[in-house]
Structures are given as structure tokens and as C-alpha cells.
Amino acid sequence: MAGETNLSVLIKDMTPVLHPGEYVFTTTTVPIPINEDSIISKFKEAEGTTLVIERQKADALGLTYDYVASWITLNIHSSLDAVGLTALFSNELAKHQISCNVIAAYYHDHIFVHKNDAQKAIKVLRALSKTPLQN
């Protein structure tokens, strides 16, 4: 199944789920001794490789970071071809002064918000899912 593309369905049926724990974005230019299963996300850029991992694991490895996040998954299988989902929820979060860092994976969209904004972000996303889209 390729996932849902209808924006109205995506918003109505998205179920934001807050993962326990704290997560950080860190970067490295050299390989680090970390089990691949410990990595939430990995992205290679020209300047270095960004890792999203649990804060405890970053601390244990002596990695530096300056942003501690909470991780929210939208539990609807969104298509990578879906248009407007990220724009809609990121704009809604922005209206409430919540920054978000989004990772679109094959099945779901994952949102990282500052740890102090996690509960507020969940409330905003749940309210958004109950609001009919204006066409």
C-alpha cells in the first residue's frame, strides 16, 4: 500500500502519538561506535552526518547537542506523494509558537518538538485533526 494522499483524510485520521524519552540531533564527521539499532534517524550532509538518537545514548557517547526534543509520530500511513500535510501541521504548530523538525519516513511523518512543548503540540495536533479543512 502506497499510503493516503487525500489531505482531508490525512488530517482527520492522523493520530499523534508521543514517544517516551528525550531525543537529540547531533552531528559527526567521523564514524562513532554506536549500534545502528540505537539510531532513530541518520542523514548525510556535506558538512557531516546528522543523527537523531536518545539523549541518554548521546550523553553516554560524549556527543554534543543543543536541542532536546520530544518525538511525535502521526499514526496514519501517509504517502510520500501527499501534498500539504507537512505545511498544514507545521503552520498550525507555528501559530502556537512551537517549532517542529519533521522527518517523513515511508509509513509515517515524525515530528520533533522542543521537549517543553510536547504536551502543547499534542493538543494542537489533536485539535487540528478535529477541524474540517476549508476548501
Fold of 7-128: VC0802-like (3.30.2130)
Provide the pLDDT for residue 42. 94
pLDDT by 10-residue block (mean), the chain, 135 residues: 81 93 94 88 94 96 95 93 91 97 94 98 95 72
The whole model's pTM is what?
0.92
Residue 61 cell numbers, joined: 557517547
Strands 23-28 and 48-54: antiparallel
| Residue 6 backbone phi and psi in degrees, to 5 | -75, 115
CA distance 49 to 55: 17
